[in-house]
Amino acid sequence: MGMRDIEVFRVVMNAGSTSKAANVLGISQPAVSQAIRKLETSAGLALFLRVRGRLVPTQEAHALMVDVDKHFVGMDAIEHRIKSLKQFGTGSLAIAAHPAIGNAFMPRALAAFDLAQRDVRISLRVLSSREVHQEVSAGHCDFGLMADEMPVMGLEHSPFLDMPGVIAMPALHPLAQHKVITAQALSEFDFLALNPEDSSRRRLEMALEARGVRLNTRVETAYAHTLCEMALRGIGVGFVNPLAVVDFIDRGLVVRPFELPVNFTSLMLFRPGRPLADNARKLMATMRIQLAKDLKAVQRHLAR
């Protein structure tokens, strides 16, 4: 009893005739009839009655069809899964990202990736850089993005963002009239700072110390998004990741370049020896395209 004969039987049952089954299978009508006779001989059962040149299924055929359908439903699911994997890759991804990337940039990138059309499910974890490092090291996510605050020993990595920070302020702030913000001018106003462990804050403080400048820090926060919200509300001015300001520019936040070359750096992390799924690679390509668009939007604003 061959699988091909059982497949022919199933098609005949669903199509209702040998001629229609032959069209579906792409074989001749005699070949269909021969496969049915072969199956009946093998099974020792009469599966069809021959009535005026037509095959009429017996009760045994209907009973057999129940189990045949169960088998082929599983096979159809496997075939569908293979096609889906070939076209879209694995259906779920876990990503860990530090807040400057995870809070606003990743939603923009995921929207551009069109998750519904690709039938992809995402677990996005917005964590500290230390926690991102831990998640990737433990194999709990497909890839991660962290600031350059942690050593990357033992992990594969590639640069993602390495761009100068910008000064954020409300539209009516006195510094909004400046084309470039100097360190001295920045020290004359209340400052919104990232937390002391942030690598960009440490670089900023080192650069200012070399100039003999001290800032009047009014508020500290771990999140660039929160810093932008406070700057927009006039609480102070802040030095922020350029990706963080994208959602605030249209709301009236003004950003200006800073005279000192202090960069924000983000790294993409991978676990060694763990090949990336096709969807992960495609998402990362989309993220880089979105990154270029976002940075271009910020540069247009800075050029005003």
pLDDT of residue 83: 61
pLDDT of residue 38: 87
Fold (topology level) of 92-160+266-294: D-Maltodextrin-Binding Protein; domain 2 (3.40.190)
Fold (topology level) of 3-88: Arc Repressor Mutant, subunit A (1.10.10)
DSSP 3-state of 234: coil
Maximum Cα–Cα distance across the chain: 104
Given the candidates 3.30.590.10, 3.30.429.10, 3.40.190.10, 3.10.105.10, the CATH classification of the domain at 163-265 is 3.40.190.10
pLDDT of residue 162: 95
Asked whether the beta carbons of 146 and 132 are under 8 A apart, the reply is yes
pLDDT of residue 295: 95
Q: What is the pTM of this model?
A: 0.69
Mind listing the pLDDT tens digit for each residue in 178-231?
999 999 999 999 999 999 888 899 999 999 999 999 999 999 999 999 999 999
Q: Where are the domains of the chain?
A: 3-88, 92-160+266-294, 163-265
Residue 65 tokens read as 């069809």
Rounded Cα–Cα distance for residues 269 and 131 (Å)? 12
DSSP, res 58: -
Q: Given this chain, do its domains 3-88 and 92-160+266-294 carry the same CATH topology?
A: no
Query: Which positions of the chain have pLDDT values less than 50?
Result: 88
pLDDT of residue 268: 96
